[in-house]
């Protein structure tokens, strides 16, 4: 399964891939040809990665972020792939971006955090 996250002309495609990764290649091709998209980033893991309860981890992260006003950032999104959190969005300052990464990484079951958080101009 692939997750596609979009924010401010950035598309991030993340997911677990089988050895034949044609779906990912096609998804990247479609994203790069989409009007308005300026940048496409990817985060993929092998399909054989064990199920780490990604949807449960994502729900716990969202609850943690919702309860922390210093980490709450409207317009951000996340997905979890094999225990790695993928963050996408725009924030006002670097401190907010750092707080999002720190709080997401503090949730039980998270192995790492891959941030595509950008600073607002």
> Mean pLDDT across the chain, nearest whole number?
89
Question: Which token pair is 56?
Answer: 């449960």
CATH architecture of 54-119: 2-Layer Sandwich (3.30)
Q: What is the pLDDT of residue 52?
A: 65
β-pair type (39-46, 10-17)? parallel
Q: What is the pLDDT of residue 117?
A: 94
Report whether 53 contacts 109 (CB < 8 A). Answer: yes
Instruction: Give the span between the Cα atoms of 36 and 23, in whole angstroms.
Output: 22
The predicted model gives 23-44 an average pLDDT of: 91
* pLDDT for residue 5 is more than 70: yes
Placement of tokens 């955090």 in the chain: 113
Q: What is the pLDDT of residue 13?
A: 92
Domain ranges of the chain: 2-46, 54-119
């Amino acid at each position: 399964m692939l997750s596609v996250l979009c924010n401010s002309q950035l598309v991030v495609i993340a997911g677990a891939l089988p050895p034949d990764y044609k779906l990912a290649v096609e998804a990247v091709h479609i994203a790069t040809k989409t009007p308005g998209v300026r940048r496409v980033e990817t985060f993929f893991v092998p399909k054989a990665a064990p199920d780490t309860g990604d949807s449960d981890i994502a729900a716990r992260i969202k609850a943690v972020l919702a309860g922390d006003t210093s980490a709450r950032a409207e317009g951000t999104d996340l997905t979890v792939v094999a225990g790695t959190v993928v963050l996408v969005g725009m924030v006002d300052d670097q401190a907010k971006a750092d707080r999002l990464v720190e709080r997401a990484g503090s949730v039980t079951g998270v192995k790492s955090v891959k941030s595509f958080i950008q600073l607002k101009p």
